[in-house]
């Protein structure tokens, strides 16, 4: 159907013109207002908007919008849970700022890379100083609001636990070509996993202390007043996560079949906000992993020493904290690794100029092979 002399227009044409007019009027707003509006939207929706016009694409790719969006996503408006084959678990070293940090032990000799699942971009980072007697290592990533830069902190242990002063720390500013040594707190052991909250990265160390790294001041320090839970118990496991923008400690006590969530309020005091039953645990020895999803937390239960061989496959319990701790169980028929991530607008292309000419990566127009671990990250499905 075509337009008539009376001015009648088909519905599809009218809708298209209305959308174009709305977009035009929206982009006429002051730039600061546009940045504020877009920073409140989910990252996936923002990236779709860059296809509307050249001005909207420039707005979406503005690093200032990426910084504002990350600061505004404390409520995890677009958090996703993804799964990986269990064999690739050790490749994924950290998830922070919506980026995945992975280490590939192949052609690049263990170099660290960053990957943005939404933009489908990845970037190799400069190789840090080699330490031949490295025993274990931890990573974290955060944002410095003063210099508008992203930083990656890395600390590792040298030799065995009885060796004094064995931990070494260094920091890398994204966009530069090197790492710098920095002082580190004194501790012996550190748990696997970390949580980024309040502009700092947090780790649980020595069983009952929380060590934090401030990305603006580039220093490690202790978080005051750990929650009053029974640390170092053979019947409990503890995990730090970011829950709705706050630092939270999840206490999984499988001997009592319960889960408690302690929240660090206003960076001053801890409160126990939730206490929930864990009724899918057989009572035998179990390994756990904990993460956040859009409306609460999930717990992965690996029961390795059970008579029922089917229990060797993970069971995932999703707790919906909006509606009286509603639970949903999911039993998988394969070993897998889950991780949660919020969307990120950070474009890794803008940092691609720091690599040397001899290095190749994703932006070389297909001139290099995709690392196998990155290919799996690209295919990592979202968990509904």
E strands, 32-96, are 80-85, 92-96
pLDDT of residue 365: 30
* Each residue's pLDDT tens digit, 200-213: 999 998 878 899 99
As given in the structure block, the two tokens for residue 148 are 């508008």
pLDDT tops 80 at residue 332: no
Average the pLDDT over 120-131 and give the result.
Answer: 80
pLDDT of residue 357: 39
pLDDT of residue 57: 86
10 versus 218: the higher-pLDDT residue is 218
pLDDT of residue 257: 83
CATH 1.25.40 fits 80-379, yes or no: no
Task: List C-alpha distances in Å: 347 to 103, 152, 373.
Answer: 20, 16, 20
Percent of the chain with pLDDT over 70: 70
pLDDT tops 60 at residue 241: yes
Band the pLDDT of 326: cuts 50, 70, 90. Answer: confident
The pTM of the full predicted model, rounded to 2 decimals, is: 0.79
113 contact partners, CB below 8 Å, separation of at least 6 = 101, 102, 103, 104, 122, 123, 124, 125, 371, 374
pLDDT tops 80 at residue 232: no
Band the pLDDT of 333: cuts 50, 70, 90. Answer: low
Decide if 201 contacts 142 (C-beta within 8 A).
yes
pLDDT tops 80 at residue 197: yes
Band the pLDDT of 44: cuts 50, 70, 90. Answer: confident
Buried b (16+ CB within 10 A) or exposed e, 253-280: bbeeebbbbbbbeeeeebeeebebebeb
Averaged confidence pLDDT in the chain: 76
pLDDT tops 70 at residue 3: no
* Each residue's pLDDT tens digit, 69-122: 877 765 445 677 877 777 777 788 888 888 888 886 644 456 788 888 888 888
Counting beta carbons within 10 angstroms of the beta carbon of residue 6, is it exposed (0 to 12), middle (13 to 18) or buried (19 or more)?
exposed
Decide if 149 contacts 174 (C-beta within 8 A).
yes
pLDDT of residue 363: 32
Decide if 207 contacts 232 (C-beta within 8 A).
yes
* Each residue's pLDDT tens digit, 249-264: 998 887 788 899 999 9
Band the pLDDT of 378: cuts 50, 70, 90. Answer: low
313 versus 137: the higher-pLDDT residue is 137
pLDDT of residue 91: 80
312 contact partners, CB below 8 Å, separation of at least 6 = 302, 303, 304, 306
The domain segmentation of the chain, as residue ranges, is 12-72, 80-379
Average the pLDDT over 334-356 and give the result.
Answer: 75
pLDDT tops 50 at residue 190: yes
274 contact partners, CB below 8 Å, separation of at least 6 = 259, 260, 261, 319, 321, 325
pLDDT of residue 262: 93
């Amino acid at each position: 159907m075509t337009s008539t002399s009376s001015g009648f227009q088909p519905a599809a044409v009218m809708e298209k013109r209305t959308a174009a007019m709305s977009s035009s009027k929206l982009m006429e707003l002051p730039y600061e207002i546009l940045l504020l509006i877009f920073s409140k939207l989910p990252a996936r929706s923002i990236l779709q908007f860059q296809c509307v016009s050249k001005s909207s694409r420039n707005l979406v790719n503005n690093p200032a919008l990426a910084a504002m969006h990350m600061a505004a996503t404390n409520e995890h408006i677009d958090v996703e849970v993804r799964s990986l084959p269990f064999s690739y678990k050790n490749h994924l070293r950290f998830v922070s700022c919506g980026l995945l940090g992975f280490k590939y032990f192949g052609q690049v000799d263990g170099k660290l890379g960053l990957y943005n699942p939404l933009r489908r971009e990845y970037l190799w980072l400069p190789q840090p100083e080699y330490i031949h007697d490295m025993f274990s290592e931890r990573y974290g990533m955060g944002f410095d609001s003063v210099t508008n830069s992203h930083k990656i902190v890395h600390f590792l242990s040298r030799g065995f636990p009885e060796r004094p002063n064995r931990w070494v720390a260094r920091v890398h500013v994204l966009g530069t070509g090197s790492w710098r040594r920095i002082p580190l707190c004194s501790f012996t052991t550190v748990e696997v996993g970390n949580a980024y909250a309040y502009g700092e990265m947090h780790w649980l160390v020595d069983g009952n202390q929380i060590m934090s790294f401030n990305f603006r001041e580039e220093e490690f320090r202790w978080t005051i007043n750990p929650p009053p839970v029974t640390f170092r118990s053979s019947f409990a496991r503890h995990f730090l996560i970011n829950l709705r923008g706050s630092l939270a400690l999840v206490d999984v006590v499988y001997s009592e079949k319960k889960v408690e969530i302690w929240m660090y309020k206003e960076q001053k005091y801890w409160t126990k906000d939730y206490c929930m039953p864990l009724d899918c645990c057989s009572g035998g020895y179990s390994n756990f992993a904990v993460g956040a999803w859009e409306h609460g937390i999930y717990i992965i239960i690996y029961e390795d020493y059970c008579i029922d061989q089917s229990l060797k496959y993970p069971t995932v319990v999703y707790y919906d904290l909006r509606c009286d701790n509603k639970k949903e169980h999911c039993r998988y028929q394969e070993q897998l690794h889950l991780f949660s991530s919020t969307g990120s607008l950070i474009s890794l292309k803008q940092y691609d100029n720091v690599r040397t000419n001899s290095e190749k990566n994703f932006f070389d127009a297909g001139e290099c092979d995709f690392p196998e671990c990155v290919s799996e990250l690209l295919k990592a499905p979202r968990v509904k």
